[in-house]
Structure 1
Amino acid sequence: METGRVSTPGAMSINATSFFLLWTCVFFGKCANGNWNSSSYYDIERRDPCLPEHVHISFGKTVLDIVIMWSTLGDCCGQVKYGMHPWGMEQITKSTDIHFDEKNSKGLHHLHKAELKNLQAGSTYYYIPISKGVQSGPFYFKTPMAETDWSHDFLMFGDLGIDSDTVPSLVNEALSGKYTALFHVGDIAYDMKNQDGQVGDYFMSIIEPAAAAIPYLTCPGNHEIDDDTFTHYRHRFATPDTEWPIPLDKMWYSIDIGPVHFVSYSTEVFFTNFAMYVNDQREWLIRDLDKANKNRHNVPWVIVFGHRPLYCSTHIGDDCSQPDSQVRKGFEEMFYRMSVDIVVQGHEHNYERLWPVYQNNVTEYTYNNPSAPVQLISGAAGSAEDVDHFPSEKRPDWSAFRLDNRAMNSYGRMLVINESHVFWEQRSIYNHSTLDSIWIIKDKHLSSRNGMGQKPDEMSEEAKDLLGQTCRKSFLACHPFEILVISGSMLVLIIASLAIRVVVRKKRKENFTKTWSRLSDEVDEDQDVFEDEESLVHS
């Protein structure tokens, strides 16, 4: 994603990075640290109620569809003007506008989402979000190249809060012009709902200079749960090819970016809402990965990201350190059998790189054609909760490298060179020094267990088996029609049973009435006979 310089007629060139950073510091009063004052930020009297704030972008159904989101203080209908020249933004698209006050009583209540579709590949676009005539910007972004053999650079990090020293440095790096997308692997702001939504607003403001220029892709973490509602996450963000607000049963998605099929999944399904969405996600994942495997000749890499790790050597009671880890049981076999290449995770406030591992056993001590996914934990972007320390004892065999204190205020960079080479490094914000780096080489992305040679519309045997496991665990997940038929039949039986009971009771009542009437008549007749006999006696 290029930023470069924006030239204006009759004026000197302005360095975009410097401009955005200066604008952030002046407008929001934050440059070097996370200290903030909610009362100074929320100076309502000095803010236009229709001023677009918290501008950020994401991908739509494809990388040539860009979704633009922003917030306003007041109820102001919105639109976006855009074009390929800063003085020629002649195209207009209207926004979808919603009211959002759940766990957000003091935050901005009005959210807006507009989508720019069918853009040209490898092109710079300028845009201005407008709400009821009030505008902010201009902002700009560059669409990725259309070819899948183009190299792409990505920033990937988890667990980033408003108290982190990482934000200014991360924004500066993001605006260097090298990156195609930013990936925030869960735990956003700490927490967006805090101070009645003001923390979420503040985080969106400080991340705006980067997120308004480069697509900001997310997945939910435990700090987005919001009493099982995920309400701030579902409203504040839009995800590729997904309804908005994001439905609780669709907090996962995938998108192709160059030579990579990226998949975002939710680890929180195991710990919220009585685990009712576990099988919904599992079935979707199996089908999505199976479809991606059939397209490996075009998009060779499959990289997934979710918040909680499958494994970790941090001993603080987290799920990833447990022998019966829910996340590991839920994803490990699937990712292994579907030949996922790389898994990026967060949650642990440190950095850890694993050897390729499956069922607690290292498959090989190399990243050259590994037979199991390469797992990376990058949860050290920084928050008020500080570092998670590793124990002093020897690390497990599958733990290749780890850092705790030294890793704090760091982020991951993933450079996808081509169809066979990916470079990964964990970088500190201090001089952007490299803390760890590896090359992952895959000459052959698919193994025989994926059913190579399957027809495009035919599901692989691995996918069928995995889906069958899902169905055995939950009949409802895989047989909704049968469940509907059975439920309908049961409903008919219940109604018929009730109807029969009503008829029987009515019949019994009629019989009882007839019997009672007959007995009454017989009693009356006996009474008449008795009276006649008594009259004769007296006479």
Structure 2
Amino acid sequence: MRSLLYVLFALLASVTAQKLEKINTIADTVGKVYHYQPEQVHLAFGDNLADIVVTWSTRDATNQSVVLYGENYSDAKSLVNVTGNARIFVDGGKKKHAQYIHKVTLRDLKPQTRYEYSCGSDLGWSARFSFTTPPAGSDWQPSLAIFGDMGNENAQSLARLQQDTQQGMYDAIIHVGDFAYDMDTENARVGDEFMRQVETIAAYVPYMVCPGNHEEKYNFSNYKTRFNMPGERDSLWYSFDLGPVHFVSFSTEVYYFLQYGFKLLTKQFEWLENDLREANKPENRAERPWIITYGHRPMYCSDEKEYDCNEKLETFIRQGLPLVKWFGLEDLFYKNGVDVEIFAHEHFYTRLWPIYDFKVYNGSTAAPYTNPKAPIQIITGSAGCKEEREPFSETLPAWNAYHSNDYGYTRMKAHNRTHLYFEQVSDDKNGEIVDSFWIIKDKNVAYNEL
């Protein structure tokens, strides 16, 4: 009888344990929210203008990375289904915040064609977006918005840029470093919020980028994982052609964060030499006579606070590494006839006279930007961030042609092979154009031959 009771009690305990385990499992499931919906959607040019790369994030694994696209999204039968891949990204913060970054490349698209698309998986889809591919060849007029130093706090220029983009004003956007302030903050939540905010720009036109000093944390992991620029160099340096312009993006940060590897600096410099040599082949320069570079930290500054951006303290980027002066870019860009060098980092806008080695080389007194005898540099770092504006020096250098403290951004239009147009938009002044100028070149020869 006693043994029978033991058996009954054992059975009852077993059943009770199974029920408790089931209840606990249900309790663990209740309240768990699965994030399969795509967010932070953004575009970039692929290795050629016929390819567009679509990137987005999900919190949880979807086991699929799919883009559905076509010229008429309402015609389901005509939609093309393209698959890609995803990789898990774990931020370096204490909480090890994880998400999945999806990448799909749309290849061999027709030129000058509007496509509609959505991205996701069987577990969740994005809203419908659209983009227009650029025309083929170099005989057309690309328009771009260019700026640096825009965070998601005090992003002063963001609303106006969103309006411009939705009105179809740009063929591409160039963000010259410093995103979010900083992408790694709060276990990368700040980076997520920034990418959500720029989706209304970046999901409609290619959003081309370069790294700034605020992306440095954890070896630039947020930057390198979130963006997919052309080439295979973690988006640190690359080039692309748009109309009559050859754009060259590079990292100024490889000069300053050598703890991540001296080899990065040497590899980038070698790549720049090869890329500019190729761009300067007679047949290539005839097709695309304009060469424009962009990197985050400038060679010349109009404020006194910068520790390496004045005549007394040589800038690493301009002259090369201290003492040995290796890998300086000013000589390289001058030698290869770079037309315009775009920088940010300083939270203002500055247009320089054509400059080389602290000397002004205007085309002429009456027309300084007609056949200039040195590259023209622009600093456009005033899009808006929590660090606010920079003050200018009381005594401005002779090579400072124009400057503005207004929040804003730069527009560029390549009208043809001889005329390039820039203007500066002031958000403080409700979109007023506070500066504009033309660069005109009717001959394509080395600067020392002009």
The TM-score normalised by the length of structure 1 is 0.71
What's the secondary structure of 1:263's corresponding residue? strand
CA drift at 1:279: 1.6
User: 2:351 aligns to what?
Assistant: 353
Query: In 2 relative to 1, CA 74–193 (structure 1 residues): closer, same or farther, beyond 3 Å?
Result: same
User: 2:342 aligns to what?
Assistant: 344
**Contact 1:423-1:440 within 8 A present in 2 as well:** yes
CA drift at 1:90: 2.1
* Deviation readout 1:114-168 (Å, 9 max, x if unpaired): 0000100000111110133310121110000113110111000000011122212
- Give 1:17-416 correspondences, 5 Å limit: 48-76=34-62, 77-88=64-75, 90-103=79-92, 105=95, 109-163=99-153, 164-227=155-218, 229-242=219-232, 246=234, 251-274=236-259, 275-294=262-281, 295-321=284-310, 322-329=312-319, 330-364=328-362, 366-393=368-395, 395-404=396-405, 407=406, 409-416=407-414
Percentage identity across paired residues of the two chains: 39
State how far apart, in whole Å, the 2-side matches of 1:46 and 1:72 are: 15
CA drift at 1:102: 2.5
State how far apart, in whole Å, the 2-side matches of 1:448 and 1:312 are: 23
**Contact 1:64-1:119 within 8 A present in 2 as well:** yes
State how far apart, in whole Å, the 2-side matches of 1:382 and 1:47 are: 34
Q: Say if 2:434 is the partner of 1:435.
A: yes
Structure with the largest fraction of strand:
2
User: 1:445 aligns to what?
Assistant: 444
What's the secondary structure of 2:230's corresponding residue? coil
* Deviation readout 1:377-409 (Å, 9 max, x if unpaired): 00000100011101212x1111111122xx2x2
**Contact 1:54-1:208 within 8 A present in 2 as well:** yes
User: 2:422 aligns to what?
Assistant: 424
Letter in 1 for 2:253: E
Letter in 2 for 1:186: G
What's the secondary structure of 1:312's corresponding residue? coil
State how far apart, in whole Å, the 1-side matches of 2:116 and 2:228 are: 20
* Deviation readout 1:204-224 (Å, 9 max, x if unpaired): 001001100000000000001
* Deviation readout 1:433-463 (Å, 9 max, x if unpaired): 011111111112332869xxxxxxxxxxxxx
* Deviation readout 1:454-501 (Å, 9 max, x if unpaired): xxxxxxxxxxxxxxxxxxxxxxxxxxxxxxxxxxxxxxxxxxxxxxxx
**Contact 1:71-1:108 within 8 A present in 2 as well:** no
What's the secondary structure of 1:339's corresponding residue? coil
**Contact 2:373-2:447 within 8 A present in 1 as well:** no
Letter in 1 for 2:198: I
Structure with the largest fraction of helix:
1
What's the secondary structure of 1:287's corresponding residue? helix
Letter in 1 for 2:244: P
Q: List gaps (5 residues or longer) in structure 2.
A: 1-29, 320-327
State how far apart, in whole Å, the 1-side matches of 2:422 and 2:384 are: 20
Instruction: Report the aligned-residue RMSD.
Output: 1.8
State how far apart, in whole Å, the 2-side matches of 1:288 and 1:149 are: 22
* Deviation readout 1:291-335 (Å, 9 max, x if unpaired): 001101111110000000011121113422253110111210011
State how far apart, in whole Å, the 2-side matches of 1:47 and 1:206 are: 22
What's the secondary structure of 1:289's corresponding residue? helix
State how far apart, in whole Å, the 2-side matches of 1:52 and 1:115 are: 16
Query: In 2 relative to 1, CA 54–46 (structure 1 residues): closer, same or farther, beyond 3 Å?
Result: farther
Letter in 2 for 1:179: Y
**Structure with bigger gyration radius:** 1
Query: In 2 relative to 1, CA 415–93 (structure 1 residues): closer, same or farther, beyond 3 Å?
Result: same
What's the secondary structure of 1:320's corresponding residue? coil
* Deviation readout 1:160-215 (Å, 9 max, x if unpaired): 01112221221111222121000000001110000110000000001001100000
The TM-score normalised by the length of structure 2 is 0.85
State how far apart, in whole Å, the 2-side matches of 1:241 and 1:258 are: 19
What is the aligned length? 397
- Give 1:519-534 correspondences, 5 Å limit: none
**Contact 1:80-1:127 within 8 A present in 2 as well:** yes
**Contact 1:319-1:327 within 8 A present in 2 as well:** no
What's the secondary structure of 1:439's corresponding residue? strand
Letter in 1 for 2:51: D
Q: List gaps (5 residues or longer) in structure 1.
A: 1-43, 451-539
CA drift at 1:106: 6.8
**Contact 2:143-2:413 within 8 A present in 1 as well:** yes
**Contact 1:155-1:183 within 8 A present in 2 as well:** yes
Runs of 4+ residues deviating >6 angstroms:
44-47
**Contact 2:91-2:184 within 8 A present in 1 as well:** no
**Contact 1:156-1:185 within 8 A present in 2 as well:** yes
User: 2:25 aligns to what?
Assistant: none
**Contact 1:259-1:301 within 8 A present in 2 as well:** yes
- Give 1:457-496 correspondences, 5 Å limit: none
State how far apart, in whole Å, the 2-side matches of 1:219 and 1:138 are: 27
State how far apart, in whole Å, the 1-side matches of 2:420 and 2:31 are: 50
Letter in 1 for 2:241: D
